[in-house]
Structure 1
């Protein structure tokens, strides 16, 4: 329907003088301005609620007080009732009632849980993700890294000559007389000349060939992960950084406890022998076995640190009584950092698939106590030896506990409290006696270093005294730690250090340099790499970004006899 024009609105009144077109236009403009300036109002949920209030919306005077009331009253008007069929009127009334019934849902309040359970709220998400990932690599940071070539590193050693007392070369007496005659002719020569001279000295030496191996780890970032992470974190950058640190951490662990199978290396660790089980009453601080009403069946392996374990032993069994614990005791082979224990129960042996990993020990005894495991890693997963790898090398622990080490002592006991540090003093004396070694440092697990420090504090020996001083403000400082062991043979201070990945129960004694003039050994330990650590981004061949690390090298010790190890330290 079109609006009437300006002349109809303002120029056609019989009681008013005829208006000019200019006056009509002026009045029309005034009307439009008044309409524009009229107050406006936007209806909100509360206005709708008021319009559809309970009841028929009629006040006490009979006048409608809401939109609903006005519509309801209009439907009752006689002229409307007469002009519309009963069915149509009933339909309109019913629709109005349905609209009224929907009122609560239409006008429900908006809260932190409505109309969406999680709320119409922003998430206070802090970016980027926090990297709670320890990554210490003290050996890698300290050990020299040198450039190699070819497929192996080779060096020759003179391990002794007459007078050194090393290399298996015996000593001779140099005294001579005027009549002394010594023949230097090769053995089996037809003629020989004798001269007035002292006896000829002897030498010992060897040729060392250490092969290089390749190492690599990889990662992948899908396109969806990269693009979905925009605005929160650069996922590719996270992947590359994690790959770098992962490579360095894995190399650190190989430098400490890796084992190789090539001819230059020590190879796999044998399984333990002499497995015995002893049931006894639980001692103070121990928890008696629970949930055991039948036999306990045990198999064990030699622990080789982070990279694996030996094959399983045969099973042994015992039937403990109430209030008892079971001691699992073995003889550990050379190179083992401890033992791992697998346990099952039953009237008969249920087999390796139901024999569960119960824990490890850093010395030759493991005590079963409390509730035995009923799930986890099964013994059936130990299908082959994993202590050594074809693409690997010997690390510090294998070298210091191997056949060429200068000293190995398997304690199978706690550290001495009557004479703290005596285990290291015995090692220092033996190393000095053998090759005149003067070690620089010893590496321990954190728990073992704490035990050494506690042994000093609890010692009854009068050779040690601790003084606790009190200041004027805040009281006393508790705790003390052993940071140096004085070599009682040479007088040199040997640094005591915790290595973050050292298996509990093991300590190595290291020489960084040799106390031998003109030895041609600038450092005892060295990493030789044909190619040092590098990163590779692979060409994109699918909806993903792929990266790898790579390095090609080996690790060697020029003088194993100047190093040693103390193993089998009981945890207390």
Structure 2
């Protein structure tokens, strides 16, 4: 062993002498001979906010193609409905009922994903790729289900909007002098979130399933309106408005020379204004070929579609058009109230003796409600905090987190205002989740529920290629037993 050590040392000396001074050069991190500090597992930085899905009860036991029930809509007394008077010794007339059969068809919801064998093996020591794939798959399924509960549309067809009203006005714009043609397309909640300026209005999409079969989804847009034209001189703005379309939460505006209109704006009010040169490279109006607002047979009606349907007698109020391109915002009542919300609450009490138990709103309307309530003689409220270490601390800003309804028994009711990312700007939804106790013997355990024929289930498909394939599915319907217990305020301008 000693001889071997001497040979080794001698060998190293010979190597050093052959390289000269080069062997003394240092190795730095730039050489790349470093370890890789990878934190495991992957950090999932996306929100899974599903308040409606989390809150609405889920009930099983569904069978057949639909869940069915019968509603007693009203009971009417004999004679004058409010007069119980009888002559001595005589019998009353017979009361009558208004009844209606109701049904809600079950539909299938689903989402799939896959991971290759190589990805599974390469992920060992980092994360269980198959397990995390399934978790993310379920989360995405729930996000899509949340949107279905809110904006799913099976029956409410937007049809064809009326031709817009157009005019030229103002000074100081840079819109080129020309005669412009304007066409409008209405958008449902799904259509509003499926569409954008760069990609265009969502019409139809052909989906190829993991089984190789295809199906077609409608994106939530109406047919295109007839066009309206207006001559504009340099410096003027082109303004356009359209009669509100019931069921629409947004409008897409196509502008240009007649026959070559392209998408120029998407608004959440029924008007738009154009003062700058039109943008090129946008979706042409020729892409809109029909009404793609609903998915009959594939979808169920969500809260918005149900409330917008006139047959369901929910409260629906659209803000007036106001100045085209600006619209009409909510109105401060001057005593810490909002005029339009008060009108909704009063109408729901006068019509059905009930109140919303929650109001859902976009962040824009949360801000607008707060601005209206705080822009009163009371001014901005500052909350003072005191402790033993500091003389005081001031917390500025705040939010209206609830609204008081005076139109209820026992002095009124407090209604929470809940922010929801998929309630479109310009829209408020009031919803009575539980009927008051004086709806006696109503046999409605839940005003709305997810009725399931088969609740969430996962299928790990047989291996047919060198990848693992997984699907998450549910067979369900949103059954809304008291659709009149909802209210919508729409077409609200930002301000």
- Bucket of the pairwise TM-score, normalised by the shorter protein: 0.7 to 0.9
Aligned partners of 2:24, 2:7: CA distance in 1, in Å? 30
* Equivalent position of 1:444 in the other structure: 361
* Equivalent position of 2:55 in the other structure: 142
| Contact 1:421/1:485 (<8 A) preserved | no
* Equivalent position of 2:19 in the other structure: 48
CA offsets per residue over residues 105-149 of structure 1, 9 Å max, x none?
x999866666xxxx4444444343322211111011111111112
Q: 1:468 Cα shift?
A: 4.9
State how 1:363-442 maps to structure 2 within 5 Å. 363-370=269-276, 372-390=278-296, 391-403=298-310, 404-412=312-320, 413-419=328-334, 420-442=337-359
1:316 is aligned to 2:228 = yes
Aligned partners of 1:537, 1:37: CA distance in 2, in Å? 59
State how 1:531-542 maps to structure 2 within 5 Å. 531-542=454-465
Aligned partners of 2:117, 2:97: CA distance in 1, in Å? 65
State how 1:214-253 maps to structure 2 within 5 Å. 214-253=108-147
1:254 is aligned to 2:141 = no
Q: Structure 1 residues 289 and 230, CA, compared in 2 at 3 Å: closer, same or farther?
A: farther
Aligned partners of 1:245, 1:38: CA distance in 2, in Å? 63
Q: What SS is found at the alignment partner of 1:159?
A: strand
CA offsets per residue over residues 227-250 of structure 1, 9 Å max, x none?
333443433223211210111111
1:455 is aligned to 2:378 = no
* Equivalent position of 2:260 in the other structure: 351
Give the alignment partner of residue 174 of structure 1, picking from 71, 76, 84. Answer: 84
| Contact 2:53/2:146 (<8 A) preserved | yes
Aligned partners of 2:8, 2:91: CA distance in 1, in Å? 132
* Equivalent position of 1:518 in the other structure: 441
* Equivalent position of 1:281 in the other structure: 170
Q: Structure 1 residues 451 and 342, CA, compared in 2 at 3 Å: closer, same or farther?
A: same
Q: 1:402 Cα shift?
A: 1.8
* Equivalent position of 2:212 in the other structure: none
CA offsets per residue over residues 90-109 of structure 1, 9 Å max, x none?
xxxxxxxxxxxxxx9x9998
Aligned partners of 1:271, 1:504: CA distance in 2, in Å? 23
Aligned partners of 2:147, 2:24: CA distance in 1, in Å? 65
CA offsets per residue over residues 409-449 of structure 1, 9 Å max, x none?
10141011344322111111111111111221111111101
1:489 is aligned to 2:407 = yes
Aligned partners of 2:13, 2:120: CA distance in 1, in Å? 45
Q: What SS is found at the alignment partner of 1:476?
A: strand
Aligned partners of 1:296, 1:425: CA distance in 2, in Å? 41
Aligned partners of 2:445, 2:74: CA distance in 1, in Å? 18
Give the alignment partner of residue 505 of structure 1, picking from 415, 426, 436. Answer: 426
| Contact 1:45/1:107 (<8 A) preserved | no
Q: Structure 1 residues 256 and 160, CA, compared in 2 at 3 Å: closer, same or farther?
A: same
Aligned partners of 1:280, 1:197: CA distance in 2, in Å? 71
Q: Structure 1 residues 453 and 234, CA, compared in 2 at 3 Å: closer, same or farther?
A: same
* Equivalent position of 1:80 in the other structure: none
Aligned partners of 1:414, 1:450: CA distance in 2, in Å? 12
* Equivalent position of 2:250 in the other structure: 338
Give the alignment partner of residue 304 of structure 1, picking from 184, 188, 209. Answer: 188
Provide TM-score, normalisation by structure 1.
0.71
CA offsets per residue over residues 296-329 of structure 1, 9 Å max, x none?
4432211101252112223334444444443331
| Contact 1:162/1:172 (<8 A) preserved | no
Q: What SS is found at the alignment partner of 1:246?
A: helix
Q: Structure 1 residues 301 and 476, CA, compared in 2 at 3 Å: closer, same or farther?
A: same
Aligned partners of 2:8, 2:309: CA distance in 1, in Å? 99
Q: 1:174 Cα shift?
A: 3.0
Q: Structure 1 residues 488 and 121, CA, compared in 2 at 3 Å: closer, same or farther?
A: same
* Equivalent position of 2:74 in the other structure: 160
Greater relative contact order structure (CA < 8 Å, 6+ sep): 2
Aligned partners of 1:445, 1:207: CA distance in 2, in Å? 35
Q: What SS is found at the alignment partner of 1:273?
A: coil
* Equivalent position of 2:202 in the other structure: none
| Contact 1:289/1:368 (<8 A) preserved | no
| Contact 2:163/2:183 (<8 A) preserved | no
| Contact 1:275/1:328 (<8 A) preserved | yes
Q: 1:44 Cα shift?
A: 6.3
Aligned partners of 1:409, 1:334: CA distance in 2, in Å? 10
Q: Structure 1 residues 44 and 360, CA, compared in 2 at 3 Å: closer, same or farther?
A: farther
Provide TM-score, normalisation by structure 2.
0.81
The structure where strand makes up a greater share of residues is: 2
Q: Structure 1 residues 436 and 43, CA, compared in 2 at 3 Å: closer, same or farther?
A: farther
* Equivalent position of 1:548 in the other structure: 471
| Contact 2:163/2:227 (<8 A) preserved | no
Q: 1:39 Cα shift?
A: 6.0
Aligned partners of 1:537, 1:440: CA distance in 2, in Å? 41
Q: Structure 1 residues 329 and 475, CA, compared in 2 at 3 Å: closer, same or farther?
A: same
Q: Structure 1 residues 237 and 170, CA, compared in 2 at 3 Å: closer, same or farther?
A: farther
Aligned partners of 1:282, 1:220: CA distance in 2, in Å? 57
Q: 1:259 Cα shift?
A: 0.8
* Equivalent position of 1:271 in the other structure: 160
Q: 1:161 Cα shift?
A: 1.0
* Equivalent position of 2:209 in the other structure: none
Aligned partners of 1:316, 1:447: CA distance in 2, in Å? 31
- Comparing 330-339 with 313-322, greater Cα deviation is found at 313-322
Aligned partners of 2:186, 2:489: CA distance in 1, in Å? 17
| Contact 1:46/1:107 (<8 A) preserved | no
| Contact 2:68/2:104 (<8 A) preserved | yes
Q: Which has the larger radius of gyration?
A: 1
